[in-house]
Chain A
Amino acid sequence: MEFPAALFPSYFSVGPPREEGGSAPVAGWGEHGQVLEGGPGRRQMQPAFVPRRGVTGERWEAADAAAVPVLLPSEDVWIPSPTPQDILYSSGLCRNLRAGKSGATLDFAKQLGHFFVDHPEDAFGSLGHLLHKNFYLGNSKLKVIVCPGITVLFPTLPLASLNLCPLLLQRPARSSTIRMTALVEDIDRLEARRGCPRQHLASRLRWFSHLCRDWLFEVPLGLLADCLHEELMQQWSNLLFDDSLTGGALAWLPPEDGGTPVGRLVHPGGKAMNHLYFQDVVLEELPRARGSPAQFELSGRIRQVAAARVDGQDFVGVRSDYHCGVWRVPGKAGAAPTPLQVIHTDVPASCLTVSPHLPGELSVCTQSGTVYLWSVETGLQRLRHDPQTMFFRDHSSWRWSDFTAHPRVLSCADRTGLQCLDVRAPKRCHFDLFKVGEEAGCQQGERVVLPMYLGRAHPSQYLVTTQFSTYVLDERLPLMPVLKWAHMMKAPPVFAHLMPGKPGRSHKVLLGASHTQELLLLQYRVVSSGGSQSACQLAGTPQKLHSIAGCLQHLPTQLPHRHHMLQQRLTAPAAGLAATLEEDALHKSMLIFQLSEAGDVFCQRLTHKPAQPPAPPSRDEEPCANSQPSPEVPSPAAALQYRRWLRALSRACREPPQHSWPPSLSQRRLFTRRDLEGPAGPSSLQRQMRQRLRQTMQEGGCIQCWEPLDIQPPPQPQTLEPADGPDPLSARLTAAWTGDWEQWWEERTSFSVAQRQRALRERRRRQKRARGHRSLSASFTSSLTYQSELSELSDTGLPLLSPGRPPILSQEGSPRASSPPLHSPPASPVPDEALLSSQSLRCRGIPKERRKTLRDYLSVWAEGPPEPPEPPGSQASQLCIPSSQSQLSSASQPLRKRPRMGF
């Protein structure tokens, strides 16, 4: 390719960039840049000039109102990546305070808190187990004075002294238990006051943290905090700018010339984006997937997919953090892709490019600053290893490499610029291609974001994008860009795609950003003057294309939560970009594919409109008649595709993953029809009761006795019930209602009554033998052992009246429950007993001996007629407390008395 006979004039100076500023929203408009004589030649009377930034380019117009999904969403449920709200400190007060300051505040404490709550075993495992009996989180008063002598004892306990603990626990409970409720309240209050400049730590919190900071945590707190902070910083910097996505993870393998219009889309998918798909796509009005894709499961998230065609074969390079692989796809349609080689890197790879010159050659960069030439035949050749950046110091470890016009010369890039290396003598032969500095007229703070070899358009041209501008460079004139344009994108363009134009036509470059999903189409061309090639010229204004999120407004109206879910999915950061030009005699069109992090591939078509002859300016029409906005509504085909996509998406979302639900059985299998037949309606007694209740409520009185005193004696219920309590169905339902169904079932099925009785007798024998060695508290209960053991027996087949169940209901369900003690056999369903059964006590973590003590105590109080169940709250809290006698007795005395009054 010839070198332009004359270049656009420009100044050249060296050194660091002088121009201050930043991204300006309009910096790319209104400039011609420079002009060059590019007319028919000097023989003419008038010289003709061409601008560096030309006004006219090819007209490409969107064929549809928005981007359309190409592939249906996969079955895997997408897990959105963290958003700034997740990790940033978001207190309104704090925002106001910090409004003036730049920089965000990471919500470190919240994340650490999340860790403690989500992984308590990892955070406090061993000490938690040791100490949980000594912490009380209930609301009722713990009648014990937390004496400093004992609380200070904890930290002095050696961590591993497990032997000591039983000793400690055998002390009277009140001396070793502290009430944590106040502490928790303090913490809650602290949370509410967060961001308040005058917050004062509660002294209690302070002493607690002072006491246990050093020994409570499984992982030393400082170390944990360091790791978490590092991770948070990493997440935040990824949110600001994620350079691992550079290059994009989408590739289009065009059909062979003259072949069927079936190309291949190479894209990642799956929940972790670790599946590589080669999907055949038929190019029709709307591209359509054909057949099922060839699929490969990889061992890491796919960051980049790069492809190049050499000698009629496509080579596809795939980069994940620690692995890079290369596939070969034969040019023949339908031929299967073959994996060729995989390499493993110790440091995450940041770049993988495929050589457009030689088959099976790639270049790989890692974050340690190493550049390799990777040949499938000869393996890896290390070209450079330099952890430092090239031209000035920059902290970023991002490196990039690409091929150049010379197959043995590779370009290496970091944030500060580009250098070209000869792989035959990488140390000796190199030259600077691009430098962030005055040479290219850069701004301060400008950094290289994505370099790309434009070989398919021009063998010696190179594209370099920064967060502010795009540059086209010519290797033959290094350091001086032949084209520069401020792209004005809101986020740095990390994806680029080149569509070379035929001779005389413009080359198209697509730039894409990740988080904002921006997509920009630029055109540039080589001005030809007098038959010889001339300088590069930007052709026409850049054009904004549809983003994936833009189709949201064209989708059918959704319910708010589904709309929100869709919005979240469609606004997921872009992850890749690919495009293809379709040209035949009549139509020229461009298909642009965009991949999102959710794994969706959307596409849009642009059609070429032949240039209109400029209309005479005197025309009455509005001056901007030549600008046609894209269609307002999607075409029927696109609308159909939206609906199909939505349907598939809702299918994928509705079916929850198996593990998130507890195993369930159909009711029909569990119950016979008769079981399910309930009472036909409220019984007359129920009706009476309700009426009475209503009446009493109106009067504002109180019902002291539910016995229908003033009416006829209740008729016997029709249903046959076992004499010892509610029928099995209601017992089962009650258990199911309170969530203890499984336990109930187990009890019912696994042991028969006889078995349990045998086991009990066995245990009794053992206990008798051991009684001699027992402590005082154990022997104290001996006279009442039988009673308590019977209570254990009584669980089987009887309703477990657990605290969640409202007492009134139980009475309604079985009218005779009003006088249970009269009819019940010795092993009557005493609710207190049921609650104090060994199983329920074990569930609550009460040690065996203490279980017994507790039972014995309660049974002393339960001498008379057993008490009906108590209101749930008080029971629960009482039974949580493996605590002092005085408290229990004080709590249970009124319980005993009230039912007597009632019955």
Chain B
Amino acid sequence: SSDEHKLNFRKSKEACLSYIQDALLQKQWKRAAEFLTCYVESLEKDYSREHIGPSEVIWRIGTEIFYHSQSSMKEFNYFMEQMKTLGVKRYLKVCLEHIFHLLCNGQIDEAYQNLSLAESWRFGEQTAVQDKEMKLIQAYRGLLDYYSWSKQKNILLEHGEDGFSDLAVEQEMHGYFRKAAVNLKEIIKIPGVWDIFVKCYVDLLEFYGDHNEAHQVLNEYAYNSKFPANPNAHVYLYQFLKRQGESKKTLISALKILHDIVPSHELMIDFNTMLQKSKKRKKRRMGLEVIFAALDYAGWKENAKAWSCLARQVKQIVISGKHLDWIKQEWSSRKDWWPAFHFSRYLAKRNWQENKSLSYEKALVAGILLGKDCKYFKYVSHQGCKAQLKRFRMLKKFVNRHNPAYLRISG
């Protein structure tokens, strides 16, 4: 009966697919390709109402096989054209993937052509997914326009040095700017992660002196709550502000927000340095908080720069004898786990072997926070003295002299 036929057909189709899958997972591309030629038959009697239909299966598997085979780009392009017509609903998706492949293989011009073609594609009413894909296609075209603009700009700048300007090149460049700006502006309005698009758009705006627009775009990208909490948005804003020569206060407030989102961001060193230099007590205190918070993270454990920042600030406070309570407060929430996390004997040994200056900074902090009897300090200062390093002898003296500070912190 026809039902049975359908059932059998479906079964053999599934079996074929599982063979292909098996071959792909074992990197047997040729075997997979042979099975795929059999699978193509399933297109004829497509009764399936599955999530991924046969046309998409063929596209995905075929593409995968092409990625790994050494066939020519021409063949691949031909295959992709076929696939575009095979599944109308997936046209834009297939186009995008084709374009990505071209871009990754350095075929920028072909990619641009394909982008323009895909942009002009219309078929019935667009679904939400297609709408998103179309926006991406436009954005990538904008990106390529930006690269062309950037190329022209470099030519002009080089030529400009020679005192020779080419009006045609300049006009072409402006043309690219307009095309790029329109498309890039569109995509970055939609919530998402658009790091490269934002960077390019801001670069364009800055070149043409539209700093307000650039600032606004970056502000929007960083602070719009519909967007994900992307640390890069804050980094771009901070870098822009820095380029603009904004005041310390503005920079600090930008970094403060980054600190709140990602206390372990690498810009926290800059932030701490900036705060330490500040004359305001509150800022300096915040600096101490920032560096303590950064060193909480496993990724910072062996960051010599961060430890030297902390060591410097702690030393400063101890020498001045003022604000020991800042340290005390920071320390109180850490004293139950920092000794095991940072100042174990095992770490002392390893740090000493691997990075002497790191162990110096850490020993200083350990000596002040945990006293001169702390394992880490004892080991490192002992090793340092044994190795006749003046720096470590000084360290030992300093910690011994300031032992009362330790008592005040721990008390």
Contacts and interface: CB of A to CB of B under 8 A. Distances in A.
A pairs with B: yes
Size category of the A interface is: 35 or more
B235 interface: yes
B227 interface: yes
Given A47-B147, A424-B333, A617-B70, A7 B195 contact: yes
Given A5-B232, A13-B191, A614-B70, A405 B299 contact: yes
A622 interface: yes
Nearest to B21: A25
Interface stretch (B53-61, B115-123, B317-325, B401-409): B53-61
Interface string B87-118: 00000000001001101101010000000000
Contacts of A630: 26
B62 A30 contact: yes
B68 interface: yes
A21 B28 contact: no
Contacts of A626: 68
A871 interface: no
Given A6-B196, A10-B192, A477 B21 contact: no
A719 interface: no
B228 interface: yes
A542 B25 contact: yes
A47 B59 CA distance: 28
A40 to B, nearest CB: 12
A657 B208 CA distance: 88
A2 interface: yes
Interface string A618-629: 010011111101
Interface string B18-37: 10111011111110010000
A24 interface: yes
A615 interface: yes
Contacts of B60: 26-27, 29-31
A626 B28 CA distance: 9
Contacts of A27: 52, 60
Contacts of A26: 17, 20-21, 52, 56-57, 60-61
Contacts of B44: none
B151 A45 contact: yes
Contacts of A42: 147, 150
Contacts of B346: 311-312
B47 interface: no
Interface string A104-116: 0000000000000
Contacts of B25: 520, 541-544
A614 B71 CA distance: 11
A32 B104 CA distance: 9
A35 interface: yes
A32 B97 contact: yes
Contacts of B199: 6
Nearest to B147: A47
B235 A3 contact: yes
Given A20-B51, A32-B101, A406-B296, A9 B68 contact: no
A8 interface: yes
Contacts of B226: 12
A413 interface: no
B22 to A, nearest CB: 7
Contact of A11 (B21, B33, B68, B192): B192
B360 interface: no
B341 A358 contact: yes
A369 interface: no
Contact of B104 (A12, A24, A49): A49
Contacts, number: 205
A43 B194 CA distance: 22
A311 B347 contact: yes
B313 interface: no
B383 interface: no
Nearest to B7: A99
B106 A46 contact: yes
B64 A12 contact: no
Contacts of A358: 337, 340-341
Pick the most buried of A7, A9, A359: most chain B CB atoms within 10 A of its CB. Answer: A9
B130 interface: no
Contacts of A33: 100
A25 B52 CA distance: 9
Contacts of B257: none
B69 A459 contact: no
A34 B50 CA distance: 25
B231 A624 contact: no
Interface string A870-890: 000000000000000000000
Contacts of A311: 344, 346-347
Interface in B321-349: 333, 337, 340-341, 344, 346-347
A624 B29 contact: yes
Contacts of B136: 9
Given A9-B136, A12-B228, A34-B100, A406 B298 contact: yes
A3 B196 contact: no
A24 B228 contact: no
A495 B147 CA distance: 45
A37 B203 CA distance: 15
Given A476-B265, A477-B231, A627-B27, A11 B106 contact: no
B359 interface: no
B223 interface: no
A50 B344 CA distance: 42
Interface string A48-60: 1111000100000
A3 B231 contact: yes
Nearest to A13: B191
Pick the most buried of B33, B51, B150, B227: most chain A CB atoms within 10 A of its CB. Answer: B51
Nearest to A480: B228
A483 to B, nearest CB: 13
A478 B27 CA distance: 34
B106 A48 contact: yes
A479 interface: yes
B196 A30 contact: no
Interface string A348-361: 00000000111100
A12 B100 contact: no
B132 interface: yes
Contacts of A22: 51
A11 B133 CA distance: 10
B297 A406 contact: yes
Contact of B59 (A30, A37, A406): A30
Given A29-B24, A623-B69, A408 B337 contact: yes
Interface in B173-212: 187, 190-197, 199
Given A3-B232, A49-B103, A617-B72, 8 more contacts: A6-B195, A13-B191, A46-B108, A407-B298, A458-B299, A616-B70, A623-B69, A624-B33
19 contacts: A5-B232, A10-B193, A12-B191, A12-B226, A12-B227, A13-B191, A26-B61, A30-B63, A34-B100, A45-B151, A49-B100, A50-B104, A311-B344, A311-B346, A359-B340, A439-B228, A476-B261, A477-B230, A617-B72
Interface of B: 17-18, 20-22, 24-30, 33, 50-52, 56-57, 59-64, 67-72, 97, 100-101, 103-104, 106, 108, 132, 136, 139, 147, 150-151, 154, 187, 190-197, 199, 226-232, 235, 261-262, 264-266, 296-299, 333, 337, 340-341, 344, 346-347
Interface of A: 1-13, 20-22, 24-27, 29-37, 42-43, 45-51, 55, 311-312, 356-359, 405-408, 424, 439, 455, 458-460, 476-480, 488, 520, 541-544, 614-617, 619, 622-627, 629-630
Which 8 pairs of residues, A with B, have the shortest CB-CB distance?
A: A21-B51, A30-B63, A30-B60, A459-B299, A544-B25, A311-B346, A624-B29, A624-B30
